[in-house]
Amino acid sequence: MQTILPLQLDRLDTPIGEMLIAADNEGNLRATFWTEKDRVLEPFLARHYAPARVEFTYVPGPLAATIAIARYFDGDLHAIDDLPVKTAGTDFQRMVWRTLRRIPCGTTISYGELSRQIGRPEAVRAVGLANGANPIGVVVPCHRVIGANGSLTGYGGGMDRKRWLLDHETHFRL
Protein backbone atom coordinates (compact mmCIF):
# COMPACT_ATOMS: atom_id res chain seq x y z
CA MET A 1 0.00 0.00 0.00
CA GLN A 2 1.39 3.37 -1.04
CA THR A 3 1.83 6.05 1.63
CA ILE A 4 -0.02 9.29 0.95
CA LEU A 5 1.62 12.65 1.73
CA PRO A 6 -1.09 15.32 1.87
CA LEU A 7 0.25 18.81 1.17
CA GLN A 8 -1.58 22.08 1.59
CA LEU A 9 -0.85 24.72 -1.04
CA ASP A 10 -0.97 28.48 -0.72
CA ARG A 11 0.06 31.38 -2.94
CA LEU A 12 1.88 34.55 -1.96
CA ASP A 13 2.38 37.70 -4.01
CA THR A 14 5.92 38.99 -3.48
CA PRO A 15 7.82 41.93 -4.97
CA ILE A 16 9.59 39.45 -7.28
CA GLY A 17 6.67 37.31 -8.36
CA GLU A 18 4.06 34.95 -7.05
CA MET A 19 5.30 32.11 -4.85
CA LEU A 20 3.61 28.76 -4.33
CA ILE A 21 4.07 27.38 -0.80
CA ALA A 22 3.49 23.75 0.22
CA ALA A 23 3.24 22.52 3.81
CA ASP A 24 2.20 19.24 5.35
CA ASN A 25 -0.63 18.79 7.83
CA GLU A 26 1.78 19.28 10.76
CA GLY A 27 2.80 22.71 9.45
CA ASN A 28 6.23 21.65 8.14
CA LEU A 29 7.22 23.62 5.08
CA ARG A 30 7.86 21.17 2.24
CA ALA A 31 8.43 23.38 -0.81
CA THR A 32 8.43 26.89 -2.21
CA PHE A 33 8.24 27.46 -5.96
CA TRP A 34 7.84 30.50 -8.14
CA THR A 35 4.48 30.11 -9.86
CA GLU A 36 5.81 30.33 -13.41
CA LYS A 37 7.23 26.90 -12.56
CA ASP A 38 3.84 25.54 -11.38
CA ARG A 39 3.86 22.91 -14.08
CA VAL A 40 6.99 21.29 -12.60
CA LEU A 41 5.93 21.45 -8.94
CA GLU A 42 3.80 18.31 -8.85
CA PRO A 43 6.25 16.11 -10.81
CA PHE A 44 9.17 17.51 -8.77
CA LEU A 45 7.51 16.78 -5.43
CA ALA A 46 6.33 13.37 -6.65
CA ARG A 47 9.96 12.45 -7.39
CA HIS A 48 11.31 14.18 -4.27
CA TYR A 49 8.97 12.33 -1.88
CA ALA A 50 8.72 9.00 -3.74
CA PRO A 51 7.58 6.39 -3.02
CA ALA A 52 4.85 8.35 -1.18
CA ARG A 53 2.02 9.69 -3.32
CA VAL A 54 1.66 13.45 -2.93
CA GLU A 55 -1.88 14.86 -2.81
CA PHE A 56 -2.43 18.62 -3.01
CA THR A 57 -5.21 20.81 -1.65
CA TYR A 58 -5.41 24.59 -1.69
CA VAL A 59 -6.10 26.12 1.71
CA PRO A 60 -8.82 28.75 2.18
CA GLY A 61 -6.68 30.91 4.48
CA PRO A 62 -2.97 31.58 4.68
CA LEU A 63 -0.60 28.92 5.98
CA ALA A 64 1.61 29.89 8.92
CA ALA A 65 4.57 29.58 6.54
CA THR A 66 2.93 31.99 4.11
CA ILE A 67 2.53 34.59 6.84
CA ALA A 68 6.17 34.23 7.90
CA ILE A 69 7.46 34.43 4.33
CA ALA A 70 5.32 37.54 3.71
CA ARG A 71 6.91 39.14 6.80
CA TYR A 72 10.36 38.31 5.38
CA PHE A 73 9.47 40.13 2.16
CA ASP A 74 8.16 43.06 4.23
CA GLY A 75 11.61 43.42 5.84
CA ASP A 76 11.40 41.16 8.91
CA LEU A 77 14.19 38.92 7.66
CA HIS A 78 14.20 36.71 10.74
CA ALA A 79 10.51 35.82 10.46
CA ILE A 80 11.48 32.67 8.52
CA ASP A 81 14.34 31.57 10.78
CA ASP A 82 12.31 29.18 12.90
CA LEU A 83 9.91 27.86 10.29
CA PRO A 84 9.86 24.08 10.54
CA VAL A 85 10.97 22.44 7.31
CA LYS A 86 10.90 18.82 6.30
CA THR A 87 12.43 17.50 3.14
CA ALA A 88 13.32 14.25 1.52
CA GLY A 89 16.66 14.06 -0.25
CA THR A 90 19.87 12.28 0.58
CA ASP A 91 21.63 12.61 3.91
CA PHE A 92 24.24 14.76 2.15
CA GLN A 93 21.61 17.08 0.63
CA ARG A 94 19.84 17.51 3.96
CA MET A 95 23.18 18.33 5.63
CA VAL A 96 23.84 21.02 3.01
CA TRP A 97 20.32 22.42 3.41
CA ARG A 98 20.65 22.56 7.23
CA THR A 99 23.94 24.41 6.83
CA LEU A 100 22.37 26.88 4.40
CA ARG A 101 19.91 27.89 7.11
CA ARG A 102 22.84 28.98 9.30
CA ILE A 103 24.15 31.52 6.78
CA PRO A 104 23.22 34.91 8.26
CA CYS A 105 20.86 37.17 6.33
CA GLY A 106 22.68 39.72 4.25
CA THR A 107 25.83 37.63 3.91
CA THR A 108 27.05 35.28 1.24
CA ILE A 109 29.48 32.37 1.12
CA SER A 110 31.09 30.48 -1.71
CA TYR A 111 30.38 26.88 -2.62
CA GLY A 112 33.90 26.08 -1.42
CA GLU A 113 33.26 27.67 1.97
CA LEU A 114 29.96 25.81 2.26
CA SER A 115 31.72 22.52 1.51
CA ARG A 116 34.31 23.31 4.21
CA GLN A 117 31.55 24.15 6.71
CA ILE A 118 30.02 20.71 6.26
CA GLY A 119 33.44 19.09 6.67
CA ARG A 120 33.70 17.99 3.02
CA PRO A 121 36.12 20.47 1.38
CA GLU A 122 36.57 18.19 -1.64
CA ALA A 123 32.82 18.10 -2.35
CA VAL A 124 32.36 21.53 -3.92
CA ARG A 125 30.51 20.19 -6.97
CA ALA A 126 28.29 17.93 -4.87
CA VAL A 127 27.47 20.93 -2.65
CA GLY A 128 26.52 22.86 -5.80
CA LEU A 129 24.23 20.06 -6.92
CA ALA A 130 22.59 19.84 -3.48
CA ASN A 131 22.17 23.61 -3.45
CA GLY A 132 20.46 23.44 -6.84
CA ALA A 133 18.14 20.63 -5.68
CA ASN A 134 16.88 22.64 -2.69
CA PRO A 135 13.06 22.48 -2.73
CA ILE A 136 12.53 25.31 -0.21
CA GLY A 137 14.06 28.43 -1.72
CA VAL A 138 14.25 31.65 0.33
CA VAL A 139 13.63 29.81 3.65
CA VAL A 140 16.54 27.46 2.95
CA PRO A 141 18.60 30.31 1.51
CA CYS A 142 20.45 28.81 -1.44
CA HIS A 143 20.51 32.33 -2.91
CA ARG A 144 23.25 33.23 -0.39
CA VAL A 145 25.78 30.96 -2.10
CA ILE A 146 28.00 32.60 -4.71
CA GLY A 147 30.98 31.73 -6.86
CA ALA A 148 34.54 31.55 -5.52
CA ASN A 149 35.37 34.87 -7.18
CA GLY A 150 32.36 36.60 -5.59
CA SER A 151 30.21 36.44 -8.71
CA LEU A 152 26.56 35.58 -8.62
CA THR A 153 25.99 32.09 -9.91
CA GLY A 154 22.85 30.16 -10.84
CA TYR A 155 19.59 30.32 -8.97
CA GLY A 156 16.49 28.27 -9.79
CA GLY A 157 14.30 31.37 -9.52
CA GLY A 158 16.53 33.32 -11.92
CA MET A 159 19.45 35.66 -11.44
CA ASP A 160 17.26 38.77 -11.13
CA ARG A 161 15.51 37.22 -8.13
CA LYS A 162 18.80 36.15 -6.56
CA ARG A 163 20.17 39.67 -6.90
CA TRP A 164 16.93 41.14 -5.48
CA LEU A 165 16.94 38.75 -2.48
CA LEU A 166 20.57 39.58 -1.64
CA ASP A 167 19.91 43.33 -1.98
CA HIS A 168 16.75 43.01 0.13
CA GLU A 169 18.63 41.22 2.90
CA THR A 170 21.49 43.71 2.83
CA HIS A 171 19.01 46.60 3.05
CA PHE A 172 17.03 45.16 5.99
CA ARG A 173 19.86 43.38 7.83
CA LEU A 174 19.90 44.20 11.54
Averaged over successive runs of 10 residues, the pLDDT of the chain (174 residues) comes to 88 95 93 78 82 86 94 97 93 97 95 96 96 94 93 86 96 80
pLDDT at 37: 63
> What's the rounded Cα separation, in Å, for the pair 33 and 56?
14
Q: Where are the alpha helices (DSSP H) in 33-121?
A: 38-48, 64-73, 91-100, 111-117
Q: In the prediction, which pLDDT does 173 show?
A: 79
Q: CA torsion sign, 102 to 168 to 72 to 138?
A: negative
Containing H/E element for 21?
strand 17-24
- Residue 174: its pLDDT value, please? 60
How would you classify the pairing of strands 109-110 and 145-146?
Answer: parallel
Q: Can you give the pLDDT at residue 81?
A: 95
Distances (CA, A) of 174 to 45, 71, 80: 35, 15, 15
Give me the pLDDT at residue 96, please: 98
Partner residues linked to 18 by β-bridges: 13
Which positions are annotated as active-site residues? 142
3-state secondary structure of 142: helix
- What pLDDT does 135 receive? 92
